């Protein structure tokens, strides 16, 4: 058998592996609460988003249970296992999209035609008429982003943006979004999409890039409120 290239583990997976080993060794007993995200980030000397991605991975595997407002608790043996594939972390994906789609939006502002704006308006109309979260709203969100890419007339870019967006269906992204997506977050996202549309329609590349990047930065913030160590009331959605 030929030698296979080694795919280095992603940072959040390394954190998840260490925490799993500590659970298996009894360092964190079944039923106990893990240190807070902030404490873990300090101990690992890593960002809180990386730690959060690791905790979400462990929850998908059935090794911990996240209780918003209470903390993260260790579970016993579970039938759940690690999903197949080396999935990207949600925050890693959103940061990549922020970089790539910002550049695309800037160029779209240079190349846009009236029919391109009409297409974006049509998608926004359907977004505003839909209840979130649902398969339909996710589809409209995807269509908006691929339509912006489509303004450049490059099928490779359209496919690439679509594939990046579709990573939100990986089990880690789905689990994280289930805690924080709501009708309120959807309304905020619609306003951000409208700002992207308006900047492109104004043929302002700098404003279009900034609007797209801000939208994806705010998406990250919406997934970032602390899970909390004690109950302090419902998690507030960030606008």
pLDDT score at 8: 53
Are the CB atoms for 149 and 163 separated by under 8 Å?
Answer: no
Mean pLDDT of 143-169: 97
**38-57 pLDDT tens trace:** 999 999 999 999 999 999 99
Whether 6 shows a pLDDT value over 80: the answer reads: no
Q: CA angle 37-65-88, nearest 5°?
A: 65
pLDDT digits (tens, 9 = 90+) for 70-128: 889 999 766 556 666 667 889 999 999 999 999 999 999 999 999 999 999 999 999 99
pTM summary value: 0.82
The CA-atom distances, in angstroms, between 201 and each of 35, 117, 158, 215 are 48, 6, 19, 17
Check whether residue 54 and residue 163 sit in a common domain. Answer: no
Q: Of the ranges 58-62, 153-157, 179-183, which is most confident?
A: 153-157
Give the DSSP H or E segment for 70. none
Residue 232 lies in a domain: no
Helix (H, G, I), strand (E, B) or coil at 71: strand
Same domain assignment for residues 147 and 47 = no
69 pLDDT more than 50: yes
- Rounded to 5 degrees, φ, ψ at 78 are -135, 155
User: What's the CATH code of the domain at 100?
Assistant: 1.20.120.530
pLDDT in tens, 204-216: 999 999 999 999 9
Query: Is 123 in the same domain as 218?
Result: yes
Q: Which domain holds residue 45?
A: 11-74
**Nearest CA-CA partner of 181 in 226, 124, 134:** 134
pLDDT at 230: 42
pLDDT attached to residue 55: 95
Check residue 153 and report its DSSP letter: T
Share of the chain above pLDDT 90, in %: 76
Q: What is the pLDDT of residue 132?
A: 82
Before 133, cis peptide (omega within 30)? Answer: yes
Domain membership flag for residue 233? no
Residue 7, pLDDT score: 52
Confidence of residue 238 (pLDDT cuts 50, 70, 90): very low
CATH number at residue 55: 1.10.10.10
Q: Do 106 and 58 share a structural domain?
A: no
Predicted confidence (pLDDT) at residue 236 exceeds the cutoff of 90: no
Residue 20 has pLDDT above 70, yes or no: yes
Q: Are residues 55 and 145 in the same domain?
A: no
Cα 167 to Cα 95, 105, 174, distances in angstroms: 13, 20, 9
Pick the range with the lowest mean pLDDT from 101-105, 148-152, 166-170: 166-170
Same domain, 70 and 95: no
pLDDT (0 to 100) of residue 227: 76
pLDDT for 234 equals 35
Round the average pLDDT of the chain to a whole number and report it: 88
């Amino acid at each position: 058998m030929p030698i296979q290239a080694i795919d280095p583990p992603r940072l959040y997976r390394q954190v998840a592996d260490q925490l799993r080993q500590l659970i298996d060794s009894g360092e964190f007993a079944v039923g106990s609460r893990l240190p807070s995200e902030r404490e873990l980030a300090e101990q690992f000397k890593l960002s809180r988003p990386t730690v959060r991605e690791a905790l979400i991975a462990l929850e998908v595997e059935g090794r911990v249970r996240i209780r918003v407002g209470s903390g993260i608790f260790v579970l016993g043996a579970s039938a759940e296992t690690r999903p197949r594939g080396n999935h990207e972390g949600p925050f890693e994906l959103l940061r990549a999209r922020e970089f790539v789609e910002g550049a695309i939006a800037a160029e779209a502002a240079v190349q846009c035609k009236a029919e391109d704006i009409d297409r974006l308006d049509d998608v926004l109309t359907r977004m505003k008429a839909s209840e979130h979260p649902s398969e339909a709203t996710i589809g409209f969100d995807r269509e908006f982003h691929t339509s912006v890419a489509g303004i450049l007339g490059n099928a490779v870019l359209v496919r690439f943006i679509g594939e990046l967006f579709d990573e939100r269906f990986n089990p880690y992204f789905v689990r994280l979004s289930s805690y924080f997506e709501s009708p309120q977050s959807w309304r905020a996202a619609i306003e951000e999409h409208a700002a992207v549309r308006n900047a492109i329609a104004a043929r302002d590349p700098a404003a279009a890039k900034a609007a797209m990047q801000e939208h994806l930065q705010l998406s990250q913030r919406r997934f970032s409120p602390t899970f909390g160590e004690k109950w302090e009331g419902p998690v507030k959605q960030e606008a």
